[in-house]
Amino acid sequence: MMIRDSEDIGRILTIEHPGESVPALLVFSSNAGQLLRGDEPTAALLNAMRQCAHRKGVPFVMHLQETDRGLRRSVGMTRLLEDIFGNEVSIFRHGAEDADNELHAGFDQYIVSSKELAVRARSVIQLPALERRLLYGGQRAAMHTSYNWRLPDGEEAYLITSGFHYDLGFTRVSKQISQFQARETRRSVERMLVRDLNLTGIGGDESRRTPIYGRKALITFSGDGNTHALLGTRWQPDQIAALRRGLGEEVKEATEAIEVTAQLSRSMQQEAIERKPPWLVLAGTFVDDMLSLVDEVTHSKWGERKLDHQFYCDFTITPSGEIAPLDAFDVVENHIFYGYGDADHYVISTLFGYRNSE
């Protein structure tokens, strides 16, 4: 594994995983706790993501979310996406008006995909959120899209991308809720697969509804997680194991190697504090010292938050419609996009690779 930190376009941290697979798909995901807003830092971030996708030269999918909280000057995420990507992408937006007000106004979710991916079907389900006394209680959504996808060797394949939310706190209840949310996400993805096997996709172009029997298939899960803690936020291994069990034992974590603590000198939030007025800089220094003390006592890194998770699994759909295990996809690179004048803006991505063993 190799790590490269680029300063030329905001900040992009790249974690390379050397192997023999050929780049095949790039999947981006925003963080639900540090929401993308329709403002200038978001525009800079989206531009960097677009340039990264062009450099890799593979189809891409983005799972994004924005909020209207305190953003009177926001032009909106849809406008930004249209301005930056033009007709390169298909944009699917899910917001309060589509969910009978079960989502809070302004907390719109997006699936953005490059035109190389032909949309077969879309699905949205509601997920119960962990009740918050200080913030809000409500529901979040899991969004799925299935695609006809062409692999690097030209073979026709099948792809499902899922963007879902989970509340991964430190309590037994939050662990149960996150596992339930993951399990419901997995079940809704499986229902989409069954519909596509039965050719019940969205209408219009019949080529998008061609049979998927005999194809190689990849499913990606982009999880946007919320955590709650007194000093920083630290992902717990047992919590992640519960989340993964909810998605299925055969599911692999694509972002396992991403640990901000190990690869950045200090947190993005702390970097932002240091650019603030002197009294905030002093407060940031105090927080640094407190977290360093906690790290020494507990022998763990509590001063950082591990970025959100992406999972994946792959399989073959036999000519008779059965599902058979497949080990043809792996992770080529992980990326962390952050900076842009506001540490609340960051995105992770995974570059998936394909190995043709035939």
Over the stretch 246-255, which tens digit does the pLDDT of each residue have?
Answer: 999 899 999 8
Name the CA radius of gyration of the chain, rounded: 20
169 burial level (CB within 10 Å; 0-12, 13-18, 19+)? buried
User: Do 334 and 246 touch, CB atoms closer than 8 A?
Assistant: no
Helix (H), strand (E) counts: the chain: 7, 15
Confidence (pLDDT) at 191: 94
Helices 237-247 and 172-197: angle between axes, nearest 10 degrees: 30
Rounded Cα gap, residues 156 and 152, in angstroms: 10
Confidence (pLDDT) at 145: 96
Confidence (pLDDT) at 100: 47
Residues of the chain under the 70 pLDDT cut: 1-10, 31-38, 66-75, 96-107, 129-139, 167-172, 200-209, 225-238, 259-276, 279-281, 283-284, 287-288, 291-292, 294-295, 298-307, 339-345, 358
Please provide residue 69's backbone torsions phi and psi, each rounded to the nearest 5 degrees.
Answer: -65, 110
Confidence (pLDDT) at 78: 83
- The pTM (predicted TM-score) of the whole model is 0.82
Confidence (pLDDT) at 22: 96
Rounded Cα gap, residues 181 and 189, in angstroms: 12
Confidence (pLDDT) at 235: 47
Rounded Cα gap, residues 116 and 159, in angstroms: 12
Confidence (pLDDT) at 270: 54
